[in-house]
């Protein structure tokens, strides 16, 4: 029997990414983001989420995509990390998908992409949350 993994998917431009579904808390329209002076370029700022201060990462900057167009506004993906929450700015949300291990590709991956799954007509790039938040490729 093939093992299935569930991913919450999203897009940066037209590139399809995913995170393990159990790490995702919620998806929100982007609230006001307060910039943090002297923070790395990938840190978009801080968000007040119902009284909790959440650090927000701009995945476009972190993955070295072109600067974000002014419209449409990004979507905020809130994920569990350690004992807290992190916000990830994405272009738009996708769906929750199941990927079978048989679709796992062996490919040369970047520092932040830990797995790639094949789906009909597209590839799902699975991000390692520990690498994104804790130690991946810093974009300055």
pLDDT tens for each residue of 17-67: 999 999 999 999 988 999 999 999 999 999 999 999 999 999 999 988 888
Percent of the chain past pLDDT 90, that is, above it, reads 64
| pLDDT given at position 135 | 59
* Spatial CA neighbour of 109 closest among 94, 90, 126, 132: 126
Question: Which residue range is the domain that position 93 belongs to?
Answer: 4-135
The mean of the pLDDT values for the chain is 88
| pLDDT given at position 71 | 72
CATH for 25:
2.40.50.180
Residue 137's pLDDT band, with cuts at 50, 70 and 90, is: very low
Specify the number of domains making up the chain: 1
Sequence-ordered strand ranges (E) for the chain:
4-12, 15-20, 24-29, 43-49, 52-58, 75-81, 84-90, 92-100, 104-105, 113-119, 122-127
Q: How many CB atoms lie within 10 A of CB 22?
A: 10
Residue 15 lies in a domain: yes
Residue 140 lies in a domain: no
| pLDDT given at position 1 | 59
């Amino acid at each position: 029997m093939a093992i299935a993994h569930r991913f919450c998917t999203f897009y940066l431009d037209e590139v399809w990414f995913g995170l393990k579904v159990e790490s995702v808390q919620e998806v929100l329209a982007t609230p006001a983001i307060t910039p943090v002076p002297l923070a790395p370029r990938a840190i978009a700022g801080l968000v007040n989420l119902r009284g909790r201060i959440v650090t927000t990462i701009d995945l476009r900057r972190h993955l070295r995509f072109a600067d974000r167009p002014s419209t449409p506004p990004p979507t905020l993906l809130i994920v569990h990390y350690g004992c807290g929450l992190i916000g990830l700015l994405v272009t738009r949300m996708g769906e929750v998908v199941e990927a079978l291990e048989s679709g796992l590709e062996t490919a040369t991956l970047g520092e932040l992409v830990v797995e790639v799954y094949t789906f009909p007509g597209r590839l799902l790039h699975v991000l390692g949350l520990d690498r994104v938040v804790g130690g991946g490729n810093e974009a300055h």
